[in-house]
Amino acid sequence: MHRLCGYASTEKGFIRAWLQRLASGMALASTLLLGQTVVAAGIDGVSVTASLLEQTGASIDEPRLEVTAGGKTLSLSRSELLLRSQVITVQKDSAYQRTMQYRAVPISVLLPSAADHASVQFVASDGFVANIAGQDLAGVGQAYLAIEELAHPWPPIDANNPHKTASAGPFYLVWLDPVAGKISNEQWPYQVAKIRVEQPLLQRYPRLAPAQINASAPAMRGLQVFLKNCAVCHKMNGAGDAEIGPDLNLPYNPTQYFQTEFLRKLIRQPSAVRTWKTSLMPGFDVKTISNAELDDLLSYLKAMAKSQKHESVKRQ
């Protein structure tokens, strides 16, 4: 339980005043349930106690978002986030590929100092992990956290894919102007469970970089393409945060078992090379990864193949 100060009160008038402050932007709260008691901890240092659950509007089993920044972690309920939400329209939604309307909270509300953070991590419930530069979150792309309302559930992401029959909720990072912000599809994490300020991925996992002897200029540019588009699902040499896709260097690198022509096709449109109903890998068009960037990405993969770490891998 997070208590940012020791003061507690059961006065209903104080609760109402605190909620008014929450709605006006002066506090962002986390509501934690302790038997019949609700303890609310705001990031501005306010702590209050209420004897009745309905005084906060939170539900005992509703989805919660964990936000970690500045050494403090808050658990925010859907109800609390909806108090600060506004209606937004996303013209071309990444998950649904059409215009969508959401209740959403600006990321600037959750992370007022986003621009000061080198990297912010969005962890999804399925193992997808997006590490996004704080400057992008605070930039012209206009980042929002969309919140799925219980009374207005979102549709399935893909009703024809058994692994995608759930919606993008309960929490989904969306952008109002992704073109201006140069935001890729992999920077729209859905089913978000945690938001954490972290050190940049490469700083935490230096093994993601090719060995110095193989670190050509194209390979190093390709590393940046990998970090932005591939590391959300894949590890490299056992390094990385994601848990969805296979490691792209262990036990073998795709450049070792794909001809270059077909590897290009796989990255552009996976179904052009192989397809199955539960496939999760998206295709990357030229707007997301240009032809030059794809060349660099292949250079990076080839450089990593030369510096594989096989100590813990037994080949049959």
Q: Does residue 191 register a pLDDT over 90?
A: yes
Distances (CA, A) of 78 to 146, 148, 160: 10, 8, 28
Average pLDDT in the chain? 80
pLDDT category of residue 307 using cuts at 50, 70 and 90: confident
Q: What is the mean pLDDT of residues 107-123?
A: 95
Q: Considering only residues 3 and 98, tell me which one the structure prediction assigns the higher pLDDT.
A: 98
- CA proximity to 265, closest of 296, 239, 298: 298
Amino acid 31: pLDDT:
35
Q: What percent of the chain has pLDDT over 90?
A: 56
The neighbour count for residue 279, using CB atoms within 10 Å, is: 13
Q: How far apart are CA 169 and CA 155, in angstroms?
A: 9
> How confident is the model over 116-141, as pLDDT tens digits?
999 999 999 988 999 999 999 999 99
pLDDT band at 280 (very low <50, low <70, confident <90, very high): confident
Q: What is the pLDDT of residue 60?
A: 60
Q: Give the chain's length.
A: 316
Q: What string of DSSP letters covers 78-127?
A: HHHHHHT-EEEEESS-TTTSS-EEEEEEEHHHH-TTGGG-SEEEEEETTS
Q: What is the rounded average pLDDT of the residues 283-297?
A: 91
DSSP-H helix ranges across the chain: 12-23, 78-83, 107-110, 134-137, 178-181, 201-204, 217-229, 254-257, 260-268, 291-305
CATH superfamily of 204-305: Cupredoxins -  blue copper proteins (2.60.40.420)
CB 134 within 8 A of CB 69: no
Whether the CB-CB separation of 65 and 84 falls below 8 Å is answered with no
Q: What's the Cα-to-Cα distance from 88 to each of 8, 74, 314, rounded to whole Å?
A: 36, 25, 51
| Residue that wins the pLDDT comparison between 59 and 149 | 149
Rounded to an integer, what distance in angstroms lies between the CA atom of residue 172 and that of residue 152? 15
For 196-253, the pLDDT digits (tens) are 999 998 999 999 998 887 778 999 999 999 988 998 889 998 998 888 889 999 999 9
Q: Average pLDDT of 289-307?
A: 93
* Average pLDDT over every residue of 11-30: 42
Domain boundaries, given as residue ranges, for the chain: 1-61, 83-199, 204-305
Residue 219: the pLDDT is 93
Per-residue pLDDT band for 292 (boundaries 50, 70, 90) equals very high
Q: Report pLDDT for 277.
A: 67
Give 9's contacts (C-beta < 8 A, 6+ positions apart). Answer: 15, 48, 49
pLDDT, tens digit (0-9, with 9 covering 90-100), for 25-81: 434 443 332 223 333 433 333 333 333 334 445 556 899 999 999 889 999 999 999
